[in-house]
Structure 1
Amino acid sequence: MRFAAIVGQKKLKEQFIAMAADERVGHALLLYEESGFGALPMAIAFAQYLCCPHKADGDSCGSCPTCNKFQKLIHPDLHFAMPVNSTKTISADKKPVSDTFAAAWREAIISDPYLTEQQWYEKIGIENKSGIIGVNEAALIGRKMSMRSFEGGKKFMIIWLPERMNQEAANKLLKLIEEPPPDTFIFLVSESPENVIVTVLSRCQIFRLPPIESESLSMELVEEFDTDIEQARFWTKISGGSLSKARRLIKESESSSIYDVYLATLLEGCANKDLKKVISFWEEISLKGRESQRQFCEYALEFLRRSLMTNIGSANISNTPDSAKEYITYWAAKIKPGFYPKAYEAINKALEDIDRNVNSRYIFADLGNRFFLSL
């Protein structure tokens, strides 16, 4: 992957290029972001840049044998570790590690390097539980990094979501992270650096990726979705500078009817004190995958924001699409102001419980109950 393929992030690209030119690249870097800002593609592009023998004009050449292998994620000196778990076909007894899912990883990242954690879990069939980076993974990382470079140059280990690493794994990796062999680089890519084990974090040089620059993201959306620039700027604004979130919001706007149905069922059941409807809501959504459940919650939060803005007379700055204005206005008239903070709290709790892998039926029964008592 070349720097040119990454949306925005001009300052960090320039910083990395300068570090390489001055030969002061640290052996352990941690790049952190909010999902969708581009930390994983940045780590891959930087590794490719450092290895490319024909780099020029602030980027790898993209056409030499080294670059071709990097772009296919098959370079023998480029290694990955990411959260995994047992699946229906791979039992815990088989002690799954990242290499178990190497083909799925390459396919997923080549398709979309802005992959989210939940999309990865769905890809490998563990969407209803959390992935981990365990001690078996740490041992494998140690073995890989202790070997000589296959092509006589630099070696790279990119650890995606190190916040999913347990203490035992971290302890096993500390010496490697602190004193790796020559020409060995460890890039950690995190979305929650505060949850990375402190002894690991303290041994890394830390870089924060900001939201993608508005104009860069807007132009990417224009090209990708064949939309006009004003609409692209709208999606850029409400996505908070995240490419993955902007993509999801656009796709939801094109086919959001199922979330509308879920939300309407919940709200109507609560407003009319129809408990059967509320039960129907949580029974139906609890059958969906974690990513769909998360998307519904985020969709509901956005609905509540627009409804509240309409409720207080600020509909003109609510960024509500024309197609949703009638629906939003209807509910804004029915919902009392005191409901909004309670609803926000309930949905955010549901999102936290989804991340903690709490049973889905419990999560949405609790959400339905909180809405029922508050609306």
Structure 2
Amino acid sequence: MQFSSVVGQKDAIGRLIKLGKEGKVPHAILFGEEPGYGALPLSVAFAQYLSCPNKSETDSCGNCPSCNKFSKLIHPDLHFAFPVNTTKKISSKPVSDNFIDSWRKVVRENPYMAEQELYDEIGTENKLGNIGVAEASLIFRKLSMTSFEGGNKYMIIWLAERMNQEASNKLLKLLEEPPKETFLFLISQSPEKILPTILSRCRIIKLPPIKIEDLSEKLMEEFSINRTDAGLWAKISGGSLSHARRAILESTDSSAFDNLIADLINGCLSKKLMNVISVWEEVATLTREQQRNFCYKLIEYIRRSYILSLGSQELSYIPESQKQVFAHWAATIKPAFYEKGFELVNKAITDIERSVNSKYIFADLSNRFFLSL
């Protein structure tokens, strides 16, 4: 992966290039982000850049043997650790190496993946992954070995907040006395859950949401949509490429959630609290994947209402059977709600991906909708 393949994040890329040119790359960097901001492709691109013998002023060459191995995620000095759990094939003490082929496959296809997408690929059957002491021991052993190709060694720990206490303590020892020419890149969507003593030994780079113009260009290229549509999707996704992709795909799908969403919004508008409670209680019983699909469909419905409220019908396909409902919403919903509504649903999606209690997520979302609509 090259910096040129990272969507936006120009400031962070500039900081990393500057560190590389000045020879001041710290042994440990923690990239803080929300899902879909691009910390994983950015960290791989940085490792590729540092190891490239033919790098330019702004990027790795992308063509040398080293770059080719990095782009395929098979460079022998590039290591990964990520949350795992037992599966039908791996019944005890799972570590990342047990699933490395699946990891490479899903990251090559979508380096902006959500946590659940990895679990679906490796088959953890709806169990939350973690990074345990067996993984930490493996990290320690890999980084203590001599470099295979005589250069730097890299360890990228994806979702470092999934480390348990024992693993965190073992990693801390490695950070206190890091081997030479070794770099650890930690990626976290909840840095506050990581041991403060680990954070204090890392250079922290917090990624902002992807800028609307950068995300719009990517969406135009990927989905062949016009600039106006792309700009709207970029705006309502909260600067997350993964959220934008899922929302666009969900907007073209038929949905089993039409009635639930209608009951939620109508209940909020008419201030029928029991109707709203009934909706969130039902959604809270769904699987995490179904809950995410519900949220993406909810975003699409809010988008349609928003576009109609602006007086435009060209950007929003609405089935004939639903036109009266959307016309009512567009005329009734307060203009100030839309931006807040998109923000609330994106937060709910992030909380689902972080495995926050479902009842809390949807009780909170429904309550805030009820008060805002």
- For the residues of structure 2 that align with 1:208 and 1:326, how far apart are their CA atoms? 44
CA deviation map 1:313-346 (0-9, x unaligned)? x93399995335643334578999xxx99xx999
Seen in structure 2, the aligned counterparts of structure 1 residues 180 and 17 have a Cα distance that, compared at 3 Å, is same
Partner of 2:48: 48
2:139 corresponds to 1:141: yes
Code of the residue aligned with 2:316 in structure 1: it is D
Post-superposition offset of 1:206: 0.6
Partner of 2:204: 206
| Structure 1 contact 297–351 (Cα < 8 Å) conserved | no
SS at match of 1:66: helix
Q: How does 1:238-277 map to 2 (within 5 A)?
A: 238-264=236-262
| Structure 1 contact 119–291 (Cα < 8 Å) conserved | no
| Structure 2 contact 80–157 (Cα < 8 Å) conserved | yes
SS at match of 1:185: strand
2:62 corresponds to 1:62: yes
SS at match of 2:12: helix
Post-superposition offset of 1:131: 1.0
Partner of 2:309: 315
2:83 corresponds to 1:89: no
Across the aligned residues of Structure 1 and Structure 2, the Cα RMSD in angstroms comes to: 4.0
Out of 174, 188, 191, the residue aligned to residue 190 of structure 1 is 188
| Structure 1 contact 118–127 (Cα < 8 Å) conserved | no
- For the residues of structure 2 that align with 1:205 and 1:317, how far apart are their CA atoms? 48
CA deviation map 1:261-293 (0-9, x unaligned)? 54347678999x9x99x9899779845x42331
Post-superposition offset of 1:297: 3.2
Code of the residue aligned with 1:222 in structure 2: it is M
Unaligned runs of 5+ in 1: none
| Structure 2 contact 19–25 (Cα < 8 Å) conserved | yes
| Structure 1 contact 84–131 (Cα < 8 Å) conserved | yes
Seen in structure 2, the aligned counterparts of structure 1 residues 263 and 89 have a Cα distance that, compared at 3 Å, is farther
Q: How many residues align?
A: 361
SS at match of 1:322: coil
| Structure 1 contact 354–363 (Cα < 8 Å) conserved | no
Seen in structure 2, the aligned counterparts of structure 1 residues 351 and 67 have a Cα distance that, compared at 3 Å, is closer
Seen in structure 2, the aligned counterparts of structure 1 residues 369 and 184 have a Cα distance that, compared at 3 Å, is closer
Q: How does 1:1-375 map to 2 (within 5 A)?
A: 1-91=1-91, 94-126=92-124, 128-264=126-262, 286=285, 289-300=287-298, 303=301, 315-316=309-310, 322-324=316-318, 326-330=324-328, 352=351, 355-356=354-355
- For the residues of structure 1 that align with 2:127 and 2:364, how far apart are their CA atoms? 20
Seen in structure 2, the aligned counterparts of structure 1 residues 169 and 125 have a Cα distance that, compared at 3 Å, is same
Deviates more, 1:323-332 or 1:69-78: 323-332
| Structure 2 contact 39–187 (Cα < 8 Å) conserved | yes
Unaligned runs of 5+ in 2: none
SS at match of 1:329: helix
Deviates more, 1:69-78 or 1:241-250: 241-250
% identical equivalent positions: 51
Code of the residue aligned with 1:163 in structure 2: it is E
Post-superposition offset of 1:256: 4.7
